[in-house]
Amino acid sequence: MNQLNNDQLKVGLAQIAPVWLNREKTFQKVLEYTQKAINERCDLVAFGEGVLPGYPFWIERTGGAIFNSPIQKEFHAHYLTNAVQIESGHLDQLCVMARENQIAVMLGCIERPLDRGGKSLYASLVYIDRSGIIQSVHRKLVPTYEERLTWSPGDGHGLRTHALGPFTIGGLNCWENWLPLARAALYGQGEDLHVAVWPGGSHNTQDVTRFISVEARSFVLSVSGLMRSGDFPPETPYLSEILGNSSEYLANGGSCIAGPDGKWIVEPVVGEETLIIAKLDYNRIREERQNFDPAGHYSRPDVLQLTINRQRQSTLKIND
């Protein structure tokens, strides 16, 4: 059993390629990398956006905006079949692994929740604590550009932080990390360890990771997926159309870690499937908050306040 060490936290960033659009095989890979993090005595392991079962790379390569397209309907049905339904126990094995080994998990997945009928998809960020309990499921507030052709807009229910040893951890999906008010919602809840998950792209992580760390005076983990042309299973629908319009990398990774002073602890790692490991020292946060604390002494709640609606949205309210 792994024991947290006072001000120290050991983290693992699992930069992996999914077995694309295959939930069961990708989940086995998630378990494999979680075990690697356990073997390294990590307190937390994090995975990229939508890595289970994969990012919707087909949309811009197969005419995703064509209305009533048979291709898009076929892909949607396939994506739904392989998406995660937490209520059906799809993450139970990971929760058991977390509990038995006292490791926290931050997992990006494509969710088809029953509370929205089970037929629409959300890019969700799931936090499993060290006792194996799912503490939050944050559904991406605004899917980005072509993502809106397959993912639905989420809500504020998962805009929450959680205690992990001395740290307060929170996270956002991909371009949500550019949303000032989404970040402020987490800062106001005491966040000092921010997990930014991405489908993969150093062009994003090399800038925003350090920016958030300086703005928040927090540690920032950017964890990305990876997708190379050779990572697609041969049975992928319309594979020739997808690869025919693609370069070698559809997602090149770029996972990295910045300290609360904005300096790199781990610079962006590109093109490599790997488990990135680092030790974080909580005292560095105390030091950097001396001159700037965005939710504390450097705030003016008498002038500026943020209101968050954390109700889980649904079309149905049942009064029995």
Q: Check residue 3 and give its pLDDT.
A: 58
Taking only the tens place, the pLDDT of each residue in 239-263 is 999 998 778 899 999 999 999 999 9
Angle, CA 263 vertex, CA 257 and CA 265 arms, to 5°: 40
Q: Is 1's pLDDT higher than 80? A: no
Q: At what angle do helices 92-101 and 23-39 cross, to 10 degrees?
A: 10
**If we measure between CA atoms, which residue out of 252, 212, 245 comes closest to residue 231?**
252
Q: What's the confidence (pLDDT) of residue 76?
A: 96
Averaged pLDDT score across all residues of the chain? 96
Q: Which two tokens stand for residue 84?
A: 């995660």
pLDDT digits (tens, 9 = 90+) for 29-64: 999 999 999 999 999 999 999 999 999 999 999 999
Residue 125 phi/psi, 5° resolution? -115, 115
Give exposure, 272-291, as e/b (b: 16+ Cβ within 10 Å): ebbbbbbebbbebbeebbee
Name, in order, each residue with C-beta under 8 angstroms of 221's C-beta and a sequence gap of 6 or more: 11, 13, 46, 193, 194, 195, 196, 255, 257
- Give the least confident one: 145-149, 169-173, 239-243, 286-290: 239-243
Set 29, 95, 140, 191: catalytic member: 140
Which whole number is the average pLDDT over 290-303?
97
Give SS3 for 68.
coil
Active-site pick, 42, 49, 256, 288: 49
Structure confidence at residue 2 as a pLDDT band (50, 70, 90): low
Per-residue pLDDT, 5: 61
Residue 79 token pair: 């994506």
pLDDT at residue 288, rounded to an integer: 98
* Distance between CA atoms of residues 234 and 236, nearest Å: 6
Clarify whether 140 is annotated catalytic. yes
Question: Do residues 37 and 308 lie in contact, with contact meaning Cβ atoms separated by under 8 Å?
Answer: no
What mean pLDDT comes out for the span 11-21?
97
Closest by CA position to 122, among listed 102, 138, 134: 138
Contact predicate 220/212, CB 8 Å: yes
Known catalytic residue at 49: yes
How do beta strands 44-47 and 8-15 pair? parallel
For the cut 80, the answer to whether the pLDDT of residue 170 exceeds it is yes
pLDDT band at 67 (very low <50, low <70, confident <90, very high): very high
The tokens describing 98, both together, are 């977390």
For residue 181, pLDDT beyond 90? yes
CATH 3.30.2020.30, domain 8-288, yes or no: no
What is the pLDDT at residue 4? 61
Active-site pick, 42, 95, 109, 174: 174
